[in-house]
Amino acid sequence: MRVLALFLFATPVFAETCPEGPDTGGALASLIREGQEAETYMVARDALRDMWALWQAPPDTWSGELLDVGLERMRMADYEGAQKAFDALVEYCPTWAEAWNQRAFVYFRQEDYTASLTNIERALEIAPRHIPALSGKGVTLLKMGREDEGYDALKAAVDLHPWLPERGLIPEPYGAPR
């Protein structure tokens, strides 16, 4: 609770100080390749877990605290609290794709698909190979009744990670494991 109160009041002080995160492009490319070449679900799952670790690695301690608060609020289904945390995180770290992706998920859970899609698109501008954001875009577009666009986004995600569970949402077999 202390951290929640702290971020509500301190974010403007830190508004210009979020550092750029480390360059993870090479590691991400390697993990994407590992997932694409995986012969088993277990290997592919491990690659995706390691990708998540890259995407969720905070640029600094403050952004990590805001992320943790938002994730904890989400686990408790406190969407208002989660949104406040992720609003602060996006304001503090506007170039961190995961900040936008997490806020998109809060909007999705509240069935505000338009706001979710806006945040997903910003995450993808920053990190075009952010597989969860790409699959989230597909699912969000499907919820909005925009099926062709939704399936295209899901196919793009499955092209990056053929073992992605969301591939089952695509009507025709696509990206089926070997």
pLDDT tens digits, one per residue of 59-113: 999 999 999 999 999 999 999 999 999 999 999 999 999 999 999 999 999 999 9
Judged by phi (left if over 0) then psi (alpha if -120 to 50, else beta), residue 77 lies in left
Query: Using 50, 70 and 90 to split pLDDT, how confident is the model at 1?
Result: low
In this structure, CATH architecture of domain 32-169: Alpha Horseshoe (1.25)
Would you kindly state where each structural domain of the chain is located, as residue ranges?
A: 32-169
More confident position, 175 or 168: 168
Asked whether residue 3 carries a pLDDT value surpassing 90, the answer given is no
Query: Using 50, 70 and 90 to split pLDDT, how confident is the model at 2?
Result: very low
Q: What is the pLDDT of residue 20?
A: 86
DSSP 165: G
To the nearest whole number, what is the mean pLDDT of the chain?
90
Q: Computed from CA positions of residues 154, 155, 161, 166, in that sequence, does the dihedral angle turn out positive or negative?
A: positive
Helix %, strand %, coil % of the chain (to 5): 70, 0, 30
